[in-house]
Amino acid sequence: MKASAVDTNVIIRFLVEDPEHVDAKFREVFGFFSKVEKGEVRVYLPALVVFQAFFVLTSYYEVPVPEAATQLKEMVSLKGFILPERDVLQRCFSILIEKEMDLVDAYLLAWSKDQNVNTVYSFDKGLAKKGLKLLPVR
């Protein structure tokens, strides 16, 4: 059986709702995530959905970056999630927990380390300060 994907709104409801006071229409999200955690339900989790969840948490809900990164790092480790870039995303969120920076920069740093690459085509001197060599765009 093929796995279905999960949408950002399901992740957000799980992370922001209080199980004690949740609206009835969102109540089942906690049981669903319990099943994902145990691996009873297999769900495809696109990296783009994780990125959107980070954006919603930090902008709309004003969750501090380190807190949002911690929540999502824990969430992507759930056994039932099918997530090809699990290690890269966990490293990305570890970077965000340690140093507040742009999500995409943290992702590029994590991806580069995972791929054993130390160069990037970019004009961003901040990436150079983080250890990546900037390549000229020609």
Q: Report yes or no on 9 lying in a domain.
A: yes
Q: Report yes or no on 131 lying in a domain.
A: no
Q: Report yes or no on 133 lying in a domain.
A: no
Domain count, the chain: 1
Q: What is the tens place of the pLDDT at every residue in 41-58? A: 999 999 999 999 999 999
pTM of the entire predicted model: 0.90
Q: Report yes or no on 125 lying in a domain.
A: no
Q: Which domain holds residue 22?
A: 4-100
Q: Report yes or no on 78 lying in a domain.
A: yes
Q: Write down the pLDDT at residue 1.
A: 63
CA angle 91, 92, 94 (to 5 degrees): 60
CB 5 within 8 A of CB 43: yes
Q: Report yes or no on 14 lying in a domain.
A: yes
How far is the C-alpha of 136 from the C-alpha of 138, rounded, in Å?
Answer: 6
Q: Report yes or no on 111 lying in a domain.
A: no
Q: Report yes or no on 105 lying in a domain.
A: no
Instruction: Kindly state the helix (H) or strand (E) to which residue 98 belongs, with its residue range.
Output: helix 86-98
- What integer is the mean pLDDT of 62-69? 96
Q: What is the tens place of the pLDDT at every residue in 85-133? A: 999 999 999 999 998 789 999 999 999 999 999 999 999 998 999 999 9
